[in-house]
Amino acid sequence: MLSVLVVVALLAGETFSRANPVSIPEVCDLQPAVDTKEVCHYGKTYDRCGNHVCMKGPGEVCGGKYGRYGICGEGLMCSNCNRCQGCSYKTFVCWSDSNCLW
């Protein structure tokens, strides 16, 4: 019985060590802090470095690894083809990613 518990504990520890995500590369140290002064039609949010960035609107490119292409505004979601789809709560403009093959 004790050997079964030891094996279970070892397997659980091995599984837990593999489940930890890889850390995000530290690119923020390489980029200066920027506060955008542009008008954001779909809202503002923060990027992973803590800078203000404009949210994306209907049909605009979004997503990517670590969200590098942007985050969709309220009422929109990023499609499998990396385009914001849905209806914007700010401008009431809608867009459907009907050409997406995924």
Describe the strand order of the beta sheet including 94-95 as a list of residue ranges.
76-78, 84-87, 94-95
**What does pTM read for this prediction?**
0.64
Q: How far is Cα 15 from Cα 8, in angstroms, rounded to an integer?
A: 10
Note the pLDDT tens digit of each residue in 9-25: 545 554 444 555 555 55
Contact 83, 60 (CB under 8 A): yes
Q: Band of the pLDDT at 7, cuts 50, 70, 90?
A: very low
For residues 1 and 98, the model is more confident at 98
Please determine, for residue 57, whether its predicted confidence score (pLDDT) is greater than 70.
yes
46 DSSP β-pair partners = 52
CB 102, CB 81: distance < 8 Å: yes
* Token digits of residue 43: 């809202």
